[in-house]
Amino acid sequence: MISLGFPWALLALPLPVLVWWLIPPHKEQVPALRFPFFRRIVDAAGSDAASGAVVMRRSVLQMIAAALVWVLVILAMARPERVGAPIEQTRAARDVVLAIDISGSMDARDFHTPDGSVEQRLQGVREVVDGFIAGRDGDRMALIVFGSRAYVQAPLTEDLQTIRDLLAQTQVGMAGPHTALGDSIGLAIRTFEASDIQQRLLILLSDGTDTVSRMSPVNAAEIARDRSIEIYTIGVGDPKATGEDKVDLKTLQDIASRTGGQYFFAEDGAGLRDVYKRIDELAPRQTEALSYRPRQALAWLPLLLATLIGLTMTGWLALMTRRRRVRP
């Protein structure tokens, strides 16, 4: 389909006709001879003397060529475009940040799998989280790991396979033995600064108690709420343990409630899978459809044709003028 990007330019098409009607033709003075018996000649011819002028005249071919050039130039100014078939793209209207605790306590081997075996906490968490990431096709996700410090493993990206690979390479203690829960939330807030999407979801998984953060988890949650970030917290581990190995359920509950999110506790792999399924139900994936039509500019075609006509007429006029000059 052909359309015009600036159809108002077509209003200029009748402009030469208006100029021809409203503006008198150009008059040029030429040399003349003065006859003392001019009156006698006029009387003998039976004419009336009047002021004279030479009006330049064009041939029919010149007029047709000029009209074609004008129409083609105006058509080029109207910006003709070839509009293609509509192309639709669907993209996620939600950004998700995963914050995974890899402190020393995640090395405990008390995580029960669905088949009844027991494995390392981090290993069991990785398997469940990997399946969760695989089902987020179309979402943008980021991965944060934290121990004594919090680190961005992957910024917001649609390359979910890279996030899965990075998660698979994560080991206990890589970020230090302690738990910086508040710092991980603060780093997630900074990660979301690169997002212009309204639905922002932070999934925070921890098995310990915050002891080394420079910002308290509750204060970080308040800031996240002001930035429209919804936090879903997941507690794993042993609530009856002591020291940093004891999962701070109260703090996780407080973080989630302050941001409008939800708190969950998962004792084993099956429970953690149910948690992520529940998160999908509470925060369903939102998408937005984008539709556009590819456009190809065609203004060069009438301009090229106008140029060819102009060059052809120029050459023809030059040839005719030369023939007149050489004619005896």
* One-letter identity of residue 247: V
Q: Is the pLDDT of residue 146 over 60?
A: yes
What's residue 4's pLDDT? Answer: 85
Average pLDDT, the chain: 82
**Domain 89-289: which topology?**
Rossmann fold (3.40.50)
Higher pLDDT, 109 or 259: 259
What's residue 256's pLDDT? Answer: 92
What's residue 290's pLDDT? Answer: 64
Q: What is the average pLDDT across 41-57?
A: 65
Give the rounded percent of residues in the chain with a pLDDT score beyond 70.
83
Token reading at 255: 């973080």
Least confident of 57-66, 96-105, 229-238: 57-66
Task: Convert the pLDDT of each residue in 162-209 to its tens digit.
Answer: 999 999 999 998 898 888 999 999 999 999 988 877 788 899 998 878
What's residue 139's pLDDT? Answer: 77
What's residue 300's pLDDT? Answer: 86
Interatomic CA distance for residues 94 and 43, integer angstroms? 98
Task: Convert the pLDDT of each residue in 277-321 to its tens digit.
Answer: 887 776 666 666 666 678 888 888 888 998 898 888 888 777 777
Binning pLDDT at 50, 70 and 90, where does residue 49 land?
low
Closest CA to 70 of 112, 12, 128, 27: 12
For the chain, the farthest-separated pair of C-alpha atoms sits apart, in whole angstroms, at: 135
CB 111 within 8 A of CB 119: yes
Q: Is the pLDDT of residue 255 over 60?
A: yes
Q: What is the average pLDDT across 28-45?
A: 71
What's residue 28's pLDDT? Answer: 67
What's residue 127's pLDDT? Answer: 87
Q: Is the pLDDT of residue 38 over 80?
A: no
When computed from its CA atoms, the radius of gyration of the chain, rounded to whole angstroms, is: 41
Domain boundaries defined on the chain: 2-85+294-326, 89-289
What's residue 197's pLDDT? Answer: 79
Token reading at 199: 């639905």
Any bridge partners for residue 296, and if so which? Answer: 82
Q: Is the pLDDT of residue 64 over 60?
A: yes
| Phi, psi angle pair for 46, to nearest 5° | 70, 30
What's residue 90's pLDDT? Answer: 63
Instruction: Look up the pTM and report it.
Output: 0.62
Q: Which DSSP string corresponds to 148-206?
A: SSEEEEEEEES-HHHHHHHHHT--TTTT-SS--HHHHHHHHHHHHTT---SEEEEEEEE
Token reading at 58: 């064009």
Q: Is the pLDDT of residue 116 over 80?
A: no
What letters, b where the CB count within 10 A reaches 16 and e where it falls short, cover 206-241? bbbbbebbebebeebbeebbeeebbbbbbbbbeeeb
Sign of the Cα pseudo-torsion (6, 11, 15, 17, in order): positive
